[in-house]
Copies of this chain bind each other. A is one copy, B any other.
């Protein structure tokens, strides 16, 4: 299941939802707020989602992973709101009979999620400024 939430993500609960007796391998990816980006000190991140479309597109990605790889279960949760350094922003997991499929599915979901799901983040820097992350930035218009 793909979920957008403004509450803290519980990785243990996410993991339990992917248990299956036929699964011998499980791979999880977690995105954590790190203290730097492109050489700048980051103190917080703010995530915003276009929730309706994000959940639809996220479900589509999970379904693609189920079709492409021999998995038992896949799931993902993305947090929104303001997060501090060390906080869990996104959780992706896949269980499968064999580890190849679990690794491949987990990687596929996080890569596609980052590319396609309408979620944005604004970085807050140690110097008090902030900027949306992506192809264009408020502070440095691409125009």
Measuring CB to CB, which residues of chain A are less than 8 angstroms from any residue of chain B?
11-12, 15, 19, 21-36, 85-86, 95, 97, 99, 102-103, 106-107, 110
Beta-carbon contact of A24 and B28 below 8 Å:
no
Beta-carbon contact of A34 and B103 below 8 Å:
no
Interface SS of chain A: helix, strand, loop or mixed? mixed
In the assembled complex, 15 residue pairs joining A and B whose CB atoms fall closer than 8 Å, in A order, are A11-B15, A19-B32, A19-B86, A22-B35, A24-B32, A26-B29, A26-B30, A26-B32, A27-B29, A27-B30, A27-B106, A31-B99, A32-B95, A99-B110, A103-B107
Beta-carbon contact of A27 and B28 below 8 Å:
yes
Q: Chain B residues near A99 (CB, 8 Å)?
A: 29, 31, 110
Q: Chain B residues near A35 (CB, 8 Å)?
A: 21-22
Beta-carbon contact of B25 and A29 below 8 Å:
yes
Task: Report which of B24, B31, B85 forms a contact with A33, defined as CB distance below 8 A.
Answer: B24
